Amino acid sequence: MAKKYCYLFTEGNAGMRELLGGKGANLAEMTNIGLPVPQGFTITTEACTQYYEDGRKINDEIMSEIMQYVETMEKINGKKFGDLKNPLLVSVRSGARASMPGMMDTILNLGLNDEVVAAMIAGNPDPKLERVVYDSDRRFIQTFPDVVMEVGKKYFERLIDKMKAEKGVKFDVDLTAADLKSLAEQFKAEYKKQLGEDFPSDPKVQLYEAIRAVFRSWDNPRANVYRRDNDIPYSWGTAVNVMPMVFGNLNNNSGTGVAFTRDPATGEKKLMGEFLVNAQGEDVVAGVRTPMPIAQMATQFPEAYADFEKVCEKLEKHYRDMQDMEFTVENGKLYMLQCRSGKRTAQAALKIACDLVDEGMRTPEEAVLMIEPRNLDTLLHPQFDAKALKAATPIGKGLGASPGAACGQIVFTADDAEKWKAAGKKVVLVRLETSPEDITGMKAAQGILTVRGGMTSHAAVVARGMGTCCVSGCGDIVMDEENKRFTLAGKTFHEGDVISIDGSTGNIYDGAIKTVDAKIEGEFNRIMGWADQFRKLSVRTNADTPRDAKKARELGAEGIGLCRTEHMFFDPERIAAFREMICADTKEQREAALDKIMPYQQGDFEALFEAMEGDPVTIRFLDPPLHEFVPTTEDEIELLAEAQGKSVDEIKGIIQGLHEANPMMGHRGCRLTVTYPEIAVMQTKAVIRAAITTKKNHPDWNIVPEIMIPLVGEVKELAFVKKIVVLTADKEIADAGIDLKYEVGTMIEIPRAALLADEIAREAEFFCFGTNDLTQMTFGFSRDDAGKFLPSYYDTKIFENDPFAKLDQAGVGKLMDMAVKMGRTVRPEMHIGICGEHGGDPTSVEFCHKIGLSYVSCSPFRVPIARLAAAQAAIRSKGE
């Protein structure tokens, strides 16, 4: 059977989002449950994939099916494309599986041309309609070239601004029918000038071009960035929705709105939204005029508002989640144009999930699945210090559009935000309003401040999605974008000046305000409590200092998965002793230097054992190449020479000798112990002695130090090092006359170790995947240099993600899966973890669950994210 590429709204349902996209599936679902939706059809995501497979062409088969559906739509609505009595006007809207607000394009009022315009006006006695028709026409002509032909909006916006200036009016609505007519003509002339051809008048040609444009917009730069940030695969494609227009710009008894069934910033259960009278489409979010709060609709549009309240209730009950809706009122009658589960702040997400459980709409398992792990990040990051905040006087106020505290230097363009961030600066991006082109700049900023736009403006929606602090719609700001300055409360602020903004209250402050760590309580703990019940993976942390370890424990870490001992060597006194060790000529000299370091290490380990209160602690032995520790300045070299009784030239010679062509694959990891066993001896003594002391102080704690040998590629390497460790440890334990267990395991971070994991498991009591090195060695490129070429790999779609951030499940993951299976054939009970960056990445955590790891280990602030991701993985895999 031939594939079906089109579905009427009556043919689809909410379960079909892979095929129909989120927007299409929900338009169908709303139709099914009897809500007022203008009846159109959806072109499937498979048509989009086919378009790309066919070399960016819509093939004849698909095109003829589309035209068949146009005919059906014409019949259902009793209107026809290009008809002079009953012309059909449609919108052409993109809609991917996952919502990508504002990333792709929408065209309104398609189907208008000179004849239709003339007939519509002639056929209606109401003189006001003339204005509506011209308004719709100029909107169409304005968006069409931008979207379809990629001719910049700016030409058209300039013409509008010019017209408004000539007529001395402030808003689009104040332009007369004649003004709009003249604008439409100017637009068409501009179109011809830019593109060298006439504006297409045949609605079918218009439609064809528009559909192509939506497919093409799947691959536009801002969509590509958005997808990478949100783990949306390129292969999904977008669907296209074609549906009859309703006119919110018909008169003052019409309008367009957006609303949420609960507050997307706080989660509070109350209808929230905005409505703009006599307006169409994007007007309400574009910030061209300030809309009215939704509650005000109740007085001005009582019937439509009552209907809308009913719709909201029905939708929430139906979807059992907070809904984000787009609607239009045409002549007092309500039409639903979109619904989806609304984007929300992390705070709101937690509250809504808990409330839905309390309201009996969701189970705790479902509530856990409703939280986006990545978003928790924002809750864990600093807030303004309450005292400092109280003492500060706001200089202005906008809407608290996305919570958080931001403090930084003012920049005025998205480009500058990126550049300044790259130069290590913290910036607050201040704009009249943001647009989708600003997305990377918004990401680079600590916070976003806009002059125009409400709670549902582009800036607000996108900032909430990114978890970035945002204050929107501060109309008191007098903006001078051209000269990169603005005035507020009588003061002029220039680029580079520091301001602070509070995304919860909307307050704006001059200068910097102290920030403090976030507190974790209430709903956060409730959700985490549920998550902990469901997850199978343990969550540990990567911590080198007692401070990090304590933080991680507060955030729920159940042990240390990776303590990098070398990070303890950089203190001034310690580094001196360590350098002596490096420059020693004999074993005796080396041991003397190591003896100086040992008490420090022992102290550090004791503090870590204390901080973890009996939870497991994995200590990795010295890993980096020695040259990373040598002095670089003349002064330091002289100092070392003196301490060693050597000449400066001799020291320089030694340093020279440590130089390696490819240090990441050089003399490091367990190779250091093979050449200098005394390093492992010292580290073992420090670990075991620290454990003994802690055990004596806390007899009830279960202290079992885990000694982890890095960079093993061959079992004999591990056997060699392990023997040294065991001899030393057993002697220490015997001397202390105490009963202490310990484990010796290894990192799996060299592909050869993964390939021979069964052999390695004969020696290793545990494995831990060092996926940073494993990724770099599996791909054969350096993580420090990948930044140079990865952008080209994204552009060419060779890679969709950075494999150092998101685990390469196909390759690196295969090695891991093999190693787990082979390791456990030899040692079924062995614990196996991961301690690379990936341990805190939600999709990577899910993979770790699937291949049966015992734990993931990540940086302290990622611990809650990993806990939640692990729970979600467990809940999802239950069904499989």
Which 185-244 positions form the footprint of ligand ADP (CB under 6 A)? 243-244
User: Distance between CA atoms of 786 and 752, rounded to whole angstroms?
Assistant: 22
Is 354 part of the annotated catalytic residue set? no
Q: State the binding partner of 773 from ligand ADP, Mg ion, none, CB within 5 to 8 A by kind.
A: Mg ion
* CA 507 vs CA 389, 394, 470, 503: distances in Å: 10, 6, 10, 7
User: Distance between CA atoms of 374 and 343, rounded to whole angstroms?
Assistant: 13
Which 88-127 positions form the footprint of ligand ADP (CB under 6 A)? 91, 93, 101-102, 106, 108
Which of 146, 172, 282, 502: binder of ligand ADP (CB under 6 A)? 282
Site string for ligand ADP, 809-848 (x = CB under 6 A): ----------------------------------------
Which of 146, 172, 606, 749: binder of Mg ion (CB under 5 A)? 749
Contact between 338 and Mg ion by CB under 5 A: the answer reads yes
Q: State the binding partner of 548 from ligand ADP, Mg ion, none, CB within 5 to 8 A by kind.
A: none
- Cβ burial of 519 (10 Å; 0-12, 13-18, 19+) is exposed
Q: State the binding partner of 91 from ligand ADP, Mg ion, none, CB within 5 to 8 A by kind.
A: ligand ADP
In the complex, minimum distance from the CB of residue 778 to Mg ion, in angstroms, rounded to a whole number: 13
Q: State the binding partner of 106 from ligand ADP, Mg ion, none, CB within 5 to 8 A by kind.
A: ligand ADP
From the list 835, 838, 848, 858, the catalytic residue is: 835
Contact between 246 and ligand ADP by CB under 6 A: the answer reads yes
Which 305-344 positions form the footprint of ligand ADP (CB under 6 A)? 326, 328, 337-338
Q: State the binding partner of 446 from Mg ion, ligand ADP, none, CB within 5 to 8 A by kind.
A: none
Amino acid at 86: N
Instruction: Give the nearer residue to ligand ADP in terms of CB position, either 102 or 454.
Output: 102
Instruction: Give the nearer residue to Mg ion in terms of CB position, either 130 or 773.
Output: 773
Token pair for residue 397? Answer: 């106020």
Contact between 580 and ligand ADP by CB under 6 A: the answer reads no
Question: Would you give the DSSP letter of residue 666?
Answer: S
In the complex, minimum distance from the CB of residue 181 to ligand ADP, in angstroms, rounded to a whole number: 21
Amino acid at 665: M
User: Among residues 356, 692, 737, which one has the least CA distance to residue 523?
Assistant: 356
Which of 416, 773, 837, 841: binder of Mg ion (CB under 5 A)? 773
In the complex, minimum distance from the CB of residue 421 to ligand ADP, in angstroms, rounded to a whole number: 27
Q: In what order do the strands lie in the sheet with 399-402?
A: 396-397, 507-510, 498-502, 405-411, 427-431, 447-450, 469-472, 399-402
Instruction: Give the nearer residue to ligand ADP in terms of CB position, either 91 or 206.
Output: 91
Dump the DSSP string for 685-703.
HHHHHHHHHHHHH-TTS--
Instruction: Give the nearer residue to ligand ADP in terms of CB position, either 217 or 542.
Output: 217
From the list 6, 458, 469, 831, the catalytic residue is: 458
* CA 703 vs CA 601, 700, 706, 741: distances in Å: 17, 9, 9, 8
H, E, C per residue of 734-764: HHHCCCCCCEEEEEECCHHHHHCHHHHHHHC
Q: State the binding partner of 751 from Mg ion, ligand ADP, none, CB within 5 to 8 A by kind.
A: none
Beta bridge partners of 860: none
Question: Would you give the DSSP letter of residue 370?
Answer: T
Q: State the binding partner of 732 from Mg ion, ligand ADP, none, CB within 5 to 8 A by kind.
A: none
Contact between 256 and ligand ADP by CB under 6 A: the answer reads yes
Contact between 770 and Mg ion by CB under 5 A: the answer reads yes
User: Among residues 326, 103, 343, 77, which one has the least CA distance to residue 214?
Assistant: 103
Beta strands 855-858; 831-834: pairing state: parallel
Q: State the binding partner of 770 from ligand ADP, Mg ion, none, CB within 5 to 8 A by kind.
A: Mg ion
Instruction: Give the nearer residue to Mg ion in terms of CB position, either 240 or 444.
Output: 240
Q: In what order do the strands lie in the sheet with 478-480?
A: 478-480, 485-488, 491-494
Contact between 282 and Mg ion by CB under 5 A: the answer reads no
Q: Label residue 320 left, alpha or beta by phi (over 0 means left) and psi (-120 to 50 means alpha).
A: left
Is 567 part of the annotated catalytic residue set? no
- Counting Cα atoms < 13 Å in the Cβ hemisphere of 378 gives 29
Contact residues toward ligand ADP (CB under 6 A) are: 38, 91, 93, 101-102, 106, 108, 243-246, 256, 281-282, 326, 328, 337-338
Contact residues toward Mg ion (CB under 5 A) are: 326, 338, 749, 770, 773
Task: List, by residue number, the catalytic residues.
Answer: 458, 835
